[in-house]
Structure 1
Amino acid sequence: MSAPPRPAGYRADTEVHTRTGPRRGIRTDTLVEGEGGLRIGWEVQLSTVGRDGPRSVRSRAAKALEDGITPAWHTDRADYAHRNDTQWTRSDRLPAYVIAKSGDLRVVSGFRALDFWRCDHRALYQCPNRRQTGCGDMHVTPKPRDIMFDDLVRKTAAGLIVPIEHRVGTRVHRFWVNDEDHVRYAEIHGVPVRTVDPKEQVGRGSQGGPTCRPRVTLVPAQRVLDWSNPSRSLAQPMPCRHCCMLAHLVDDYGVPCHKVCQEEVEEAALVD
């Protein structure tokens, strides 16, 4: 009887000094070597750390970026989840025996799904430009999503979850999103996207060079929406987020919506 195949993974080293040297560089708790030259530097921060100064989170995250490392900071402190000096993720503070029993942590903050919507009279949200009747533009609303910590580590290494900076007025919010949301965000706001070569998606760490490049021309394809899953059905019809008529289904984010309405909105976004 043959042995079962071993699960693929990524190389990780602990307590790694950056190549800038001990006087100027930083020490990363865990450095994960990912796809296409991606390097994710995980820092687990449970003690007090400042916002500014040479040893602050902001300074250490900036140095990591200079060394080609994507900083990833995790904590169990609720106050850190509201800071924007880096892309913080947070799990609940649990006893060690509970963590050991479950074998994983649920990330309750720092990973979000992006809701893209047309700002008109049918919009579910208020116009961020503070226009009562809507401005007609496409806007983005981040929505919190839970994820297991092991999945987060693997998917950041694979380039399937990426960091993002979302500006609201004069404030910048930093968090993690899936790569598809990031690409669509870039289409709307015209920001560069770091991509991973699909040829290197082989389920293990790659020794190849980085594939960081800006996308100049982005031509998205319209999605074919399949809402046949019973989990999309509502027990009681509720107003559609687009047309306000009663709908029996919910969209990808659990908001009541007609399939045809969502398809029209996505098609209009492609034309624009």
Structure 2
Amino acid sequence: MHNNLIYLTDHRGKVDATQLSDIEWARLVADNRDSTRRRLVKCAWCWDEDDVTHWMKTYSRNNGARVISHQPGESADHPYQALESDEHKAYCDRVERVGVAEGFRARREARADDGRTRSDVLLVGARHVSYEMQHSPFKQGYGAKERTRRSLAAKRDAVAWHTDSSIIADGARVAMLRSNPARLPQIENPRYQLRILGGYRKVLVWDCTVREGHRCPKGRYAGCGATHVDAQPSAITLDDFIRQAPAGLVLPVQPLDRLGFWTTTQDYEIWVDHFGEASRPGGSGAEPRRQSEQQADGHSRRTAAKDHAPVVPQQRTDRPQAVTNIPDELIKLERSAEDARGKLVGLDGEAYAGQWKAWRTAAEEFQAAVTEYAARRDVSMSRPEVEQAAKKAVRHPEPDS
């Protein structure tokens, strides 16, 4: 149904006509038979957006479909739009408040030039991020994938879908953030942490050997000796995500795929470098399957014997140089960033915000130094390899021989 949002002047206020019962709809059609004189039903879209009153016609087709239309020559029909609940409004208010406090521009119900593409909140920083909160199931033909495509075509850099329902997240068919369920007082409380439980991941890179402790995607119990890249769930709060996304510090990987996710800038570069351009926003390829979907627990005796045989990794010339070849300056900068991140534990409020900015500054200095070092002609490693080597030196130092 188009024009589904209407204002009823009989004290019912703004309603979604698709949610009316058959009896309520039949009574509305009868009461609104002479719509311009009765003045019972007016277009909520025209009133909210332009402060213009258009009295709507209401009737049913022969097949029983409900129709709400403008008077001839008044205005074009509007696409279906869900009625905003109190929780939906509170989430958008919170996103707008956090974004503005961080220095971004925030626009509610921002519409593109085509008039059809809107954002619950459009956050404008280094990137244009369209925030979309979804509380109810998607309508047929107006799902998350179609709306994401239109939003990206309308020159949005990214669409940040968010829900607190696991059912909606599983059926969204796009990369979607899922937070813990919260009641209205918790959403409105700026000190309450809305934690992201799904849709935000950390990228892992490892050499497939027994020592690394990861299960081989190919089912080799002793490891296959290859280098693998995968992702695992990571932690972030909704407020921190809003502080980082418009600044380009977190990016979506394969946003039009249900198994897509958001990750940090450095992890995004590693993922795209490994899996190719199809992982970028608007990419046409499908994301590689997760490790858990590739595991095979059953093997023949011959295969099992082969899999348990130790595998000696082949020496590769394109792997990172030894950690000792990483400049001390990079290691110091990464250690400083890790120390700043570790101090976030236990903080809250203004103390957390101040330490978070200190951590972000230290992380940006490290990333800039990595980029500068990897660009040198005498360095054969790629930028992701330099970064991973520096982080390994700080987070997993080798024991003294």
- TM-score class, shorter-chain normalisation, is 0.5 to 0.7
Which has the larger share of helix?
2
For the pair shown, which has the larger CA radius of gyration, 1 or 2? 2
Q: In structure 2, what is the equivalent of residue 125 of structure 1?
A: 214
Answer whether contact 2:133 2:161 (CA < 8 A) is retained: yes
Q: In structure 2, what is the equivalent of residue 11 of structure 1?
A: 105
Percentage of identical aligned residues: 27
Which has the larger share of strand?
1
Task: Choose between structure 1 and 2 for higher RCO, CA contacts under 8 A separated by at least 6 residues.
Answer: 1
Shift of 1:226: 6.1
Q: In structure 2, what is the equivalent of residue 219 of structure 1?
A: 383
Using structure 1 for the length normalisation, give the TM-score.
0.63
Q: Which runs of 5+ in 2 are unaligned?
A: 1-99, 282-359, 362-380
Give the whole-Å Cα distance in 1 for the aligned partners of 2:112 and 2:129. Answer: 12
Give the whole-Å Cα distance in 1 for the aligned partners of 2:121 and 2:102. Answer: 18
Distance 1:125 1:83, change over 3 A: farther
For 1:32, the aligned partner's letter is: L
Answer whether contact 1:84 1:174 (CA < 8 A) is retained: no
Using structure 2 for the length normalisation, give the TM-score.
0.44
- Aligned pairs, how many? 196
Answer whether contact 1:84 1:173 (CA < 8 A) is retained: no
Give the whole-Å Cα distance in 2 for the aligned partners of 1:83 and 1:153. Answer: 23
Structure 2 matches for 1:197-236, cutoff 5 A?
218-220=382-384, 221=386, 222-223=389-390, 225=392, 227=394
For 1:26, the aligned partner's letter is: T
User: Cα deviations across residues 167-215 of structure 1 (Å, max 9, x unaligned)?
Assistant: xxxx862111001111122232333768xxxxxx99xxxxxxxxxxxxx
Shift of 1:104: 4.5
Q: In structure 1, what is the equivalent of residue 153 of structure 2?
A: 66
Shift of 1:259: 2.3
Residue from 113, 120, 123 that aligns with 1:29? 120
Give the whole-Å Cα distance in 2 for the aligned partners of 1:67 and 1:93. Answer: 31
Distance 1:162 1:62, change over 3 A: same
User: Is 1:159 matched up with 2:297?
Assistant: no
User: Cα deviations across residues 52-75 of structure 1 (Å, max 9, x unaligned)?
Assistant: x53111100111111221111101
Residue from 202, 223, 228 that aligns with 1:113? 202
Shift of 1:8: 4.6
For 1:135, the aligned partner's letter is: C
Q: In structure 1, what is the equivalent of residue 96 of structure 2?
A: none
Shift of 1:144: 1.5
User: Is 1:259 matched up with 2:397?
Assistant: yes
Residue from 241, 252, 266 that aligns with 1:180? 266
Give the whole-Å Cα distance in 2 for the aligned partners of 1:172 and 1:56. Answer: 12
